[in-house]
Structure 1
Amino acid sequence: MKYHLMIILLLIITGCTADQEYKGQSHHMDNKERSAKDYQQAITIAAIGDLLIHDRVYNDAWDGERYDFQSMLAPVQNYLQKPTIAMANQESIMGGEELGLSNYPRFNSPFDLADDIQKTGVDLVTMANNHTLDKGEVAIHNAIDYYEKIGLRYTGAFKSQADQDTIRVIETDAGISAAFLSYTYGTNGIPVPDGKEYLVNQIDRLQIKSDVLEAEKLADITIVSYHFGQEYMRQPNQEQQDLVQFAADLGTDVVIGHHPHVLQPIEWVEGEQGNKTLVAYSLGNFLSGQYELNRRIGGIFQFTVEKQGDSVSVHTPAFLPTFVQFEMIDDTMTNVEVLPLGNVTNQQLSDAKVHLEEIKQHVSQNIEGLQFIE
């Protein structure tokens, strides 16, 4: 795991490590047993937006031997390795080179991407999106087989009914567990094979309710990822707001949104029981080949989960704006990398600091006290 080299130091400082173990459907320790410990525990969880690998991105990643995405992500690697758990939306299915790498409208990405995002710090990918079925059932199985081979967790698309029925729970050595659920509005009109609805979770309120209630039994917090909204719109629409409210009313702790390919605001939404749900309506693109300015700006969304006895809270939301930097040489995208927006120069982006301040205002307009990661 990514924290092995720091285990001894973390034991000294905090009495626990950030190493993780995938528990699947297994029940974690009962809250009554844990409350007897009567000490405070905390972890951080980070989420990034779309990994949407256009041909111009994977072509630039090719180094003659493999597709090197890690160097593209190196400038933000520290920000993804520090959190206890980091999650990403894998928008382009990783069916592998044997199926033929491909671009929009039906994507297919190389397995090297899975290796490199894992090395960069990603622990779990959400797979439910409108491109899940781009290369059919075989690509889903290829991707899952590879994730399982390297130990990268996944949710939202599954290899069997039993796999879909297994709620994804990550237990941490801090004694805090988190459940991850993922759903999409659709699959670009590509029909799901009859009897294999488990291949991709679609937004169905009955299923979401059942999954959230089960997740609540298994984990300390529940995080729902929705692939929803209107592309390129910087504000959530009514359907997004209604689905978020539905999740909040169920007691969901955090909702992470994808699909618009641009950033939408972060806010707290109150559930019907008076609970507060932390929401990022859209985290935009993290790594993609889209050219337009707002589609090149994404970010790392982070929050703290704290537990004391049997009381669990989500607090201290924070955000790092990011920027997909590249050069155009002879109409070819090259030197692609993801940079903290605060590090972008005026040579790379005219009036970079102005854009940074506008993004900060945009994502924080509906929430007080949002911290920005330096």
Structure 2
Amino acid sequence: MKKYYLGIGLLIILVVGVLLRGYYNNEIVLCAVGDILLDRGVRKEMKGDYDHPYKKVKNILNEADITIGNLECPITYGGTPALKRPIIIFKADPENSEAVKEAGFDILNLANNHTMDYGTEGIVNTINTLKKTNINFIGAGSNYEDARKPLYAQAKNCKIGFLGYSVFPPEGYITFSDRPDVAKIDIKSLKDEIKSAKSKCDFLVISIHWGKEYGFYRSDMQKKLAYAIIDSGGDLIIGHHPHVLQGIEGYKDGIIFYSLGNFVFDRQIQNGTDETIIVNFKLKNKRLDRIEIIPAKIRNCQPERVYGEEAHYILDRLKMYSDGMNIKIDIRESKGYIKF
């Protein structure tokens, strides 16, 4: 009789193990980070070691099924500098592309106010270099329509769509609809573009460059635009440009991260520019199931995960920025968690 019950017990354990393995194998992890600058102080800090910025976080980035970030500069040797202050004209050596790929990045958003810093040649070189390295991109293309095309990625049983937009036009550059450019927000077509993209995928992510630099709280414009995106079918909004963390909001069935702050960046004077987060969005049954927030500090142009008091300080501030925005962040073991 004991052998009988022992056999039944082992069978139950085996069945539960198989079910749990199926559950977790079916989970999809989408990892997102903020602004990546590969020039100015970061270039000096690298000293030709293009892998330098990612050495302390690449293990986290590579664990995800898909990892996305915002590239805050063109990747090019050539091009004509934009007509603006030289101190805010950026470009990265093409050798960076291999290091970005090895760090774990699968998708880069190019829709921002620095991608056109070296004009048409700069953006074309960026696109070609990323293609050679097998890094996908959103928010830029050979003309107006091409720049607005969604990207689709199949992860296990889920088809995830990505769109990239910038509220700000490229500085010091004249835009022509038939030439290479980034995807700027066009209110007249935005809702239709999102509805169309969502009809072709299970889960839709919008990466958007917006907000006030160094402002910790969303603006009315960000809120209004975010709601319009979610109302039109967007599931997740990932914001960047403010260079500091902003709040998180739950709106209807969507989630809005107003700003992920800097990620790979040089030293800035303003408070909060060295505080960042790595966010793991965990999808189950084609829906967002839970979110894991990993706090980090940028030191010597390297993001590095932090623990204890440093982690709690960043996460507590993130909770403060998110106050009243229909979201609950639990802090445990130096991480933040959001459950749906």
Q: TM-score by structure 1 length?
A: 0.75
Please tell me whether the aligned partners of residues 180 and 223 of structure 1 are also in contact (alpha carbons under 8 angstroms): yes
Number of the residue aligned with 1:75: 56
- Distance in 2 of aligned mates of 1:241 and 1:177: 27
Take 2:94 and 2:21, find their aligned partners in 1: how far apart are those partners? 37
Match of 2:33 among 21, 28, 48: 48
Q: Which residue is equivalent to 2:107?
A: 124
Matches of 2:278 and 2:187, distance apart in 1: 28
SS of the residue corresponding to residue 154 of structure 2 reads: strand
Match of 1:187, SS state, is coil
Give secondary structure in 1 for the equivalent of 2:279: strand
Matched, 1:226 2:208: yes
1:300 aligns with 2:278: yes
Instruction: For 1:300 and 1:165, locate their aligned partners in 2 and report how far apart those are by CA, in whole Å.
Output: 26
Match in the other structure for 1:313: 287
Structure 2: which amino acid aligns with 1:90?
L
2:272 counterpart SS class: helix
The question of 1:289 aligning with 2:266 is answered yes
- Greater Cα shift, 73-82 or 284-293: 284-293
Aligned residues of 2:194 and 2:232 also touching (Cα < 8 A): yes
Per the alignment, residue 77 of structure 2 pairs with 97
Q: Distance in 2 between matches of 1:301 and 1:228?
A: 19
Mapped contact 2:36–2:264 kept (Cα < 8 A): yes
2:4 matched to which residue of 1? none
Counterpart residue number, 1:253: 235
Structure of greater Rg: 2
In structure 2, relative to structure 1, the CA distance for the partners of 1:71 and 1:191 (3 Å cut) is closer
In 2, the alpha carbon distance for the partners of 1:300 and 1:215 equals: 26
Match in the other structure for 1:179: 161
The answer to whether residue 320 in structure 2 is matched with residue 359 in structure 1 is no
In 1, are the aligned partners of 2:142 and 2:178 still within 8 Å (CA)? no
Contact 2:280-2:291 within 8 A present in 1 as well? yes
The RMSD of aligned alpha carbons is 2.7
Q: Would the aligned equivalents of 2:78 and 2:121 in 1 still touch at CA under 8 Å?
A: no
Instruction: Give how far 1:127 is off.
Output: 0.3
Aligned with residue 93 of structure 2, among 107, 110, 134: 110
Offset at 1:354?
6.3
How high is the sequence identity, in percent, across the aligned residues?
23
Supply the distance in 1 between the matched residues of 2:232 and 2:245 (Cα, whole angstroms): 25
Answer yes or no: is 1:341 the counterpart of 2:306: yes
Deviation larger for 187-196 or 247-256? 187-196
User: Which sections of structure 2, spanning at least 5 residues, go unmatched?
Assistant: 1-19
Are the equivalent residues in 2 in contact too, given 1:318–1:370 (CA < 8 A)?
no
Secondary structure of the structure 1 residue equivalent to 2:246: coil
Deviations 1:289-311 (A, max 9, x none): 1323411111112211221xxxx
Cα deviation, 1:302-321, whole Å, max 9, x if unaligned, reads: 211221xxxx3212122111
* Offset, 1:146: 0.6
When structure 1 is superposed on structure 2, of 215-224 and 197-206 the one drifting more is: 197-206
Give a deviation string over 1:76-128, Cα, whole Å, max 9, x none: 1111111111100001121x234599963111111222211211111000000
Q: From 133, 141, 166, give the equivalent of 2:116.
A: 133
**Aligned amino acid, residue 87 of structure 1:** I
Match of 1:212 in 2: 194
Counterparts of 1:303 and 1:57, CA distance in 2 = 28
Aligned partner of 2:101: which letter?
Q
Matches within 5 A, 1:226-245: 226-245=208-227
Of 328, 331, 336, 1:368 maps to 328
Measure, in 2, the Cα distance between the counterparts of 1:368 and 1:197: 44
CA distance in 1, matches of 2:143, 2:314: 44
Structure 1 residue 247 displacement after superposition: 0.5
Which 5+ residue runs of structure 1 have no aligned equivalent? Answer: 1-11, 18-40, 271-275, 327-335, 344-350
Contact kept in structure 2, 1:93 and 1:108, CA below 8 Å: yes
| Equivalent-residue separation in structure 2 for 1:278 and 1:15 (angstroms) | 23
